[in-house]
Structure 1
Amino acid sequence: MQVVSISSLKGGVGKTSVTTGLASAALAAGIPTLVVDLDPHADASTALGVRPDEQLDIGRMLKSPRRARLADNVVPSGWVEHSASSKGTAASVLDVAIGSAYTGIYDRPDLGRRDLRRLSAVLAGAGQYELVLIDCPPSLNGLTRMAWSASDKVALVAEPGLFSVAGTERTMRAIQLFRQEFAPGLSPAGIVANRVRTGSSEHTFRLAEMQSMFGELLLTPHIPEQANWQQIQGAAHSVHHWPGDSAKNAAALFDTLLGNLMGAGGTGELAAAGMVRNRSQR
């Protein structure tokens, strides 16, 4: 099982869109996947079309993690029905640990080691999944650090803009510091350039800057700005089951990105360490 946190220091860069795009690719590939919606806004839960009954949301599971019974409280994504009907086969697994505002009580900068292990304890019951995607809030407070404690890898989402690139560099530094103190097994999976406008000279410049700064940590392919993405999410559909060439092209990009993300490993960690060191010497 691989546990990957999808993080960003800056809001509005499409972090949840990347999470759901990767979840869509995993569903299409038949990879048993759990999405943990750790953002108090719970946008991933909405986009994934969950219909909770009596299940506990992730915030209440975190409150009593050793009694959480994850398997009893996850909710199948509404996407699963579309996937099964389009293929005419048995449904693949895409479950959701439902987000809620309740998680906000843990989004503090002063969480101790015991609190940082809460999500790890909940995910001890996630052995039936091959992939766990954690949609983090856009901050480096307690919830993101809790997610990092439970993760094998961190994928960062950034737009090719000045503030987003600067925020990504700061987040890379934070990952290295967090790894040294709390999570020696954690490594950066890479950086996803999202909402890229191919005709923008600013975006072209910033992508080249990101390549220079982050090297092989800048994952490919880059995800272009998609005009109908909000429509897809608002309809609670996966991009793989949305009609039209634009959605089909986006789905293919997420298929490739998922493969590259799951294959990222130790060399990326070394590159990240070198990047932080080199930048600090300038």
Structure 2
Amino acid sequence: MQVVAVLSLKGGVGKTTVALGLAGAALAHGIPTLLVDLDPQANATIALDVEPTTGTIADVLDEPSRSALRRAIAPSAWGEGLDVLVGAEQNERHNHPDPTTKQLERLRRALSRLDDPELGSSLGRTEKTPGDPYQLVIIDCPPSLGQLTRGALAAADRALLVTDPTMFAVSGVQRAFDAVQAERERGNEALQPLGVLVNRVRPRNAEHDYRIAELRELFGPLVFSGVLPDRSAVQQAQGACLPIQRWDTPGAREVSAVFTALLGRLLRSRSRT
């Protein structure tokens, strides 16, 4: 099971859009995936159109048990093979600015219990297969560096940093890299930055071109060569509660290709470790 934390320490850059796009790519390629919605806004949960549950990720962080997981995980309406550890506004009670080590380990402990043989039954599946039910776990972090984001980094193998091409992009990316390095030093030596994805890029925009060049000068090959263009298809697909991969417009296909390449890079990064 590979765990990737999608984060940005600058709000409004489309972090949840990236988490959803990556989940849609995994679904399209038949990769069993769990999306963990840590953001108290719970926008990913809404976009994935899940059925009501009797628990949320907030309850799981209260008690990282198998029974709490079963109550908080639901199938996504996007299709079989993509489940959601649902978010809620109550997540905010776990976003302490100075968490203890025990608090930071709660999400990792919860994810280690996904091998529960009863989980499939609770999701309406008849088979009970041993081992991890998911090949990929995507964590949508809140845009702040409190317990929730740091706990995600403590549980993750890879960190995907999302930014937009504006004047504050460099400082936001640098803070995110510093957070990754701090978590490695604290104890999660397996954590590595997957890279920086630039979102909402407009073609032939001088300011955007300048900011992307600035990012590449400072962070080198960690900045993905493929950027996400600013396309209305993204908002249209989310409004319809559909993955961008099933929104049949030229703009949607352009965006989908970036997510397919991103998924490939993520999967190859695991084979190199």
Matched residue, 1:43: 43
Q: How many residues align?
A: 256
Matched residue, 1:161: 166
CA distance in 1, matches of 2:97, 2:67: 24
Structure 2 stretches lacking a partner, 5+ long: 115-131
The verdict on how the C-alpha distance between 1:68 and 1:114 changes in structure 2, with shifts beyond 3 A counting, is: farther
TM-score (norm 1): 0.86
CA distance in 2, matches of 1:46, 1:40: 12
- The yes-or-no answer on 1:120 pairing with 2:108 is yes
Does the CA-based 8 Å contact 2:95-2:148 persist in structure 1? yes
Q: Name whichever structure is richer in helix by fraction.
A: 1
Does the CA-based 8 Å contact 2:61-2:94 persist in structure 1? no
Matched residue, 2:123: none
Q: Deviations over 1:150-189 (max 9, x none)?
A: 1111110011111022111121122112211232221111
Q: Amino acid of the residue matched to residue 137 of structure 2?
A: V
- The yes-or-no answer on 1:9 pairing with 2:9 is yes
Matched residue, 1:255: 260
Does the CA-based 8 Å contact 1:119-1:146 persist in structure 2? yes
1:154-233 matches, within 5 Å, as 154-233=159-238
Q: After TM superposition, give the deviation of residue 43 of structure 1 in Å.
A: 0.3
Does the CA-based 8 Å contact 1:190-1:264 persist in structure 2? no
**Where does structure 1 differ by over 2 angstroms across 4 or more consecutive aligned residues?**
66-73, 261-267
Q: Deviations over 1:19-51 (max 9, x none)?
A: 000000000000000000000000000111111
Q: Amino acid of the residue matched to residue 184 of structure 1?
A: E
Please, which moves more after superposition, 236-245 or 27-36? 236-245
1:137-152 matches, within 5 Å, as 137-152=142-157
Q: Deviations over 1:228-279 (max 9, x none)?
A: 3222111111111112221122112211111113323699x9xxxxxxxxxx
TM-score (norm 2): 0.89
Does the CA-based 8 Å contact 2:50-2:74 persist in structure 1? yes
CA distance in 1, matches of 2:63, 2:15: 28
SS in 2 for 1:41: coil
SS in 2 for 1:125: coil
Please, which moves more after superposition, 177-186 or 128-137? 177-186
CA distance in 2, matches of 1:240, 1:217: 25
Q: Amino acid of the residue matched to residue 78 of structure 1?
A: A
Q: CA RMSD in A?
A: 1.8
